[in-house]
Amino acid sequence: MKRVWVHVGLIAFSAYILLPILWIIRTSFVPESMSYSSSLMPGFTLDNFAALLNRRNFGNSLLRSLIVSLGATLIALPFAAATGFAFARYRTGGNLGRFLVLATQMLPAIVLVLPTFTIFRSLGLTNSIFGLMIVYAALNLPFLTWILMGFFEGIPVELEWAAMIDGANPWTAFWRVVIPVSLPGLASAGILGFIMAWNEFIFALILTGPATATVPVSLAALQTQNGIRIADVSAGVVLAVIPLAIIARYAQRFIVSGLTFGAVK
């Protein structure tokens, strides 16, 4: 009996999370005119996707988002790894250093976005996906540092000691032992950084123009004077979520299997 209630609870909770998503998927395949209908599948069309990709160049937004998010993550990751390792192993900066890294995350984005805009405009970096990439890398850095620091702390220092005694200087030990052992951690951090950049809205809105808009900005632009074109928006959301879904599907296995290593005991 108790198990039944547990299942009822879990089903209700899953529905709470999944139904809106399922409804969006459904709406993305329904013609705009029938999109507010309460029936389950009042029609079927791929026009929403076609319109989005052809007339609104949504494909370009996807490509830009991909470049910006990937670029920002790849720029931030090595710095975050180096900083996180210094915090974890050498306790550089002590607790204050750690706190300061975390403190940067306490500022709301809106506080940062205006000064950033001013600086970037004088540097000529507004309206450029490169500028946005740099901003995302900077925004990601503290967060990724924090995650990787935790991961490095979990790596027994004896692994590095063993490498040093085997003849590796600290730099070699870091590259030949610490980094390979940390690949799962680097992957998780990278994925989280990618998702954060992929979904980011405020900086993208302020720092890009129509020709450089990323996915979230392009989605928001679907809200016109004629009201929200909900079927188009749904199709856009589906397209925006697909890369994340793919990552989640394949990365998960890699991360989980990588975490059980067996260096010690």
Partner 1 sequence: MAQVSLRNVVKRYELVQVVHNINLEIADHEFVVLVGPSGCGKSTTLRMLAGLEEISSGEIYIDSRPVSSVPPWNRDIAMVFQNYALYPHMTVAENMGFGLKLRHVPKSEIQARVKHAADILGITNLLDRRPKALSGGQRQRVAMGRALVRDPKVFLFDEPLSNLDAKLRVQMRTEIKKLHQRVNTTTIYVTHDQVEAMTLADRVVVMNGGRIEQIGPPQELYHAPKSLFVAGFVGSPGMNFVPARVEESNGSLYLSIGNRCRLAVPLARTDRYGPFVGRMMTFGIRPEHISEPSGEPQSGMAPLELPVDVVEPMGAETLVHCNLDGTTVIACLEPSTQASPGKPIKLVADMNHMHLIDPETSLVV
Q: Which of 164, 202, 220, 244 binds partner 1 (CB under 8 A)?
A: 164
Q: Which of 169, 224, 225, 226 binds partner 1 (CB under 8 A)?
A: 169
Cα distance between residue 201 and residue 207, in whole Å: 10
Per DSSP, the three-state class of 228 is: strand
Q: Which of 76, 134, 181, 189 binds partner 1 (CB under 8 A)?
A: 181
**What's the min distance (Å) between Cβ of 260 and partner 1?**
7
Contact between 162 and partner 1 by CB under 8 A: the answer reads: yes
Q: Which of 159, 221, 251, 255 binds partner 1 (CB under 8 A)?
A: 159
Residues 22, 27, 30: CA angle, nearest 5 degrees = 135
| Pick 23 or 261: Cβ nearer partner 1 | 261
Q: How many residues bind partner 1 (CB under 8 A)?
A: 24
Go through the chain and tell me how many residues it has: 265
Q: What's the sign of the alpha-carbon dihedral 104, 178, 154, 261?
A: positive
| Pick 72 or 181: Cβ nearer partner 1 | 181
Whole-angstrom CA distances from 23 to 41, 42, 216, 230, 235 are: 10, 13, 19, 11, 11
Alpha helices (runs of H) in 154-229, residue ranges in sequence order = 157-165, 170-173, 179-199, 202-207, 215-220
Cα distance between residue 263 and residue 261, in whole Å: 6
Q: Which of 25, 66, 138, 168 binds partner 1 (CB under 8 A)?
A: 168
| Pick 51 or 159: Cβ nearer partner 1 | 159
**What's the min distance (Å) between Cβ of 104 and partner 1?**
30
Whole-angstrom CA distances from 180 to 87, 88, 261 are: 19, 17, 11
Contact between 154 and partner 1 by CB under 8 A: the answer reads: no
What binding mask, one character per residue, do residues 223-262 give for partner 1 by CB under 8 A, x or -? -------------------------------------xxx
Rg (CA), the chain: 23
Q: What's the sign of the alpha-carbon dihedral 179, 180, 184, 188?
A: positive
Site residues for partner 1, 60-89, by CB under 8 A, read: none
Site residues for partner 1, 182-211, by CB under 8 A, read: 183
Q: Which of 77, 163, 213, 233 binds partner 1 (CB under 8 A)?
A: 163
Rounded to 5 degrees, what are φ and ψ at 182? -90, 0
| Pick 12 or 264: Cβ nearer partner 1 | 264
**What's the min distance (Å) between Cβ of 181 and partner 1?**
6
Cα distance between residue 39 and residue 99, in whole Å: 52
| Pick 164 or 205: Cβ nearer partner 1 | 164
Q: Which spans of this chain sit near partner 1 (rule: CB under 8 A)?
A: 156, 158-159, 161-169, 172, 176-177, 180-181, 183, 260-265
